[in-house]
Amino acid sequence: MPHKTPFTSAIVAGLLLACVVLVLSVGNARAEEGRSDIEPPFFASAVAQGSLPPIAARLPDQPLIVDLAAQALEPGNYGGTLRTLITKSRDIRYMVVNGYARLVGRDARLRLLPDILQSYEVTDERIFTFRLRSGHRWSDGHPFTAEDFRYYWEDIATNPELSPAGPPALMLADGALPQFEVIDPLTVRYRWSSPNPAFLSALAQARPPFIYRPAHYLGQFHIRYADPDRLAAMIASEKVRNWAALHNRRDNMYKFDNIDMPTLQPWVNRTPSPAAQYVFERNPYYHRVDAAGRQLPYIDRVVMQVADGRLIAAKTNAGETDLQARGLSFSDITVLRQGEARNGYQTRLWPLSAGAHMALYPNLNYERPVWRALFRDVRFRRALSLGIDRHLINRSLFFGLALEGNNMVLPTSPLFEPALQTRWAVYNRAVANRMLDALELTARDGRGIRLLPDGQPLR
């Protein structure tokens, strides 16, 4: 969420920061030389000393423009430290999840758009051609090129020592791997003989398959490229079995715990693991800008403090965090709402991509034949659904904040049909009873409980 001042009050929210919003627009932007507000102040000293190139040399030739106006959001100002809490060191991986720098990303309407990529072309769901951004660089300043894709495919994914099980299943279409081609230094192509429709979508996931690696960094740990004596010394120093174990230890794109490994994410990890507190600093070569040409993110640092999971709600209530989602649940709403006025934060709902928070599935293969027959009868399942008071559950368990209805695709999906949201899902005891009567389940015991065809209670 953008702020016009550095973070001074807590925000408990299900919103991503302006620098990592999912509404992307493909366009051209270039830092305007001479504008004092273009260079983030965080890097001003390094640029003045000559240890870091100026912003015009750090951005890709065509950065990605983040369209804040499309979301009715205002541009932010540079600076500030964002505080958040995690329950264990491995949770620093959420910097990659929420940073959401992906080859392709989804916008608010779930459309796939280029992000790290400049563009892409898909032919018959079989042939995928990716064009990279000219001038895009890793966080250490090294060019991001087709070599990074080649390294992953030839030296990791299809290397039996690094990937004994072979490439990830996503790279298979009808059991066959693609033909990988480097077209030019900024273009790669994957060509399958059969359609692989899930490939592009998977690249936009919260935990995507990273089909590229910083070849210039990882090559020093690969037997194919490393100096043998230096590699042997590192294996001995790290106390690992062989070069493959060393390489795998250093290759942590998702875990995000190797501070020496370059990244394309908005912030760079500066804290070795394990630690009680992790500090992440802005990536000087990040590829996104706002409409004014100012490099994102706006926030200079993110600090993740490891805390007892049982205390996160209380610490949030006390104003010890600026943005918190991890470690909070519906049961904490009362505590969080109580602290809003005192500590100046807001409690918001995080939209989920799941069709329902709670879903019931009758066992269609139940061992008792009489129950199995009933569960397989759609009329019985519909009667059960009509007998569930979702409104009561919503008020009792979810503070009236849930959307009552069926487990189905999200309203943002092009497949969403409003009528299906409530079909057989509105509490109606009378109709449910009539449907059970129509199934000839009319016999009852002395307590009024319906009886199954075998005479046992229907419960």
CB burial string 140-152: b at 16+ within 10 A, e below: beebbbbbbbbbb
The whole-angstrom separation of Cα 287 and Cα 58 is 9
pLDDT for res 75: 93
287 in Cβ contact with 60 (< 8 Å) = yes
What domains can you pick out in the chain, each with its CATH number?
1-101+265-350 (3.40.190), 108-253 (3.90.76.10), 352-459 (3.10.105.10)
Distance CA 33, CA 382 (A): 66
* Number of neighbouring beta carbons within 10 Å of residue 35: 12
Q: What is the pLDDT along the chain (459 residues), one digit of tens a residue?
A: 333 223 222 333 332 333 333 334 434 444 444 343 589 999 999 999 999 999 999 999 999 999 898 888 899 999 999 999 999 999 999 999 999 999 999 987 788 999 999 999 999 999 999 999 999 999 999 999 999 999 999 999 999 999 999 999 999 999 999 999 999 999 999 999 999 999 999 999 999 999 999 999 999 999 999 999 999 999 999 999 999 999 999 999 999 999 999 999 999 999 999 999 999 999 999 999 999 999 999 999 999 999 999 999 999 999 999 999 999 988 898 899 889 999 999 999 877 777 887 888 999 999 999 999 999 999 999 999 999 999 999 998 888 888 899 998 888 788 899 999 999 999 999 999 999 999 999 999 999 999 999 999 998
* β strands within 139-297, DSSP E: 179-184, 187-191, 267-269, 277-282, 288-289
Q: Helix axis angle, 243-250 relative to 228-238, nearest 10°?
A: 70
Which pLDDT value is given to residue 64?
A: 96
Distances (CA, A) of 369 to 288, 366, 372, 441: 60, 7, 5, 16
CA 424 to chain CA mean position, Å? 33
Per-residue model confidence (pLDDT) at position 210 = 97
Q: What is the reported pLDDT for 22?
A: 33
Q: What is the pLDDT of residue 352?
A: 73
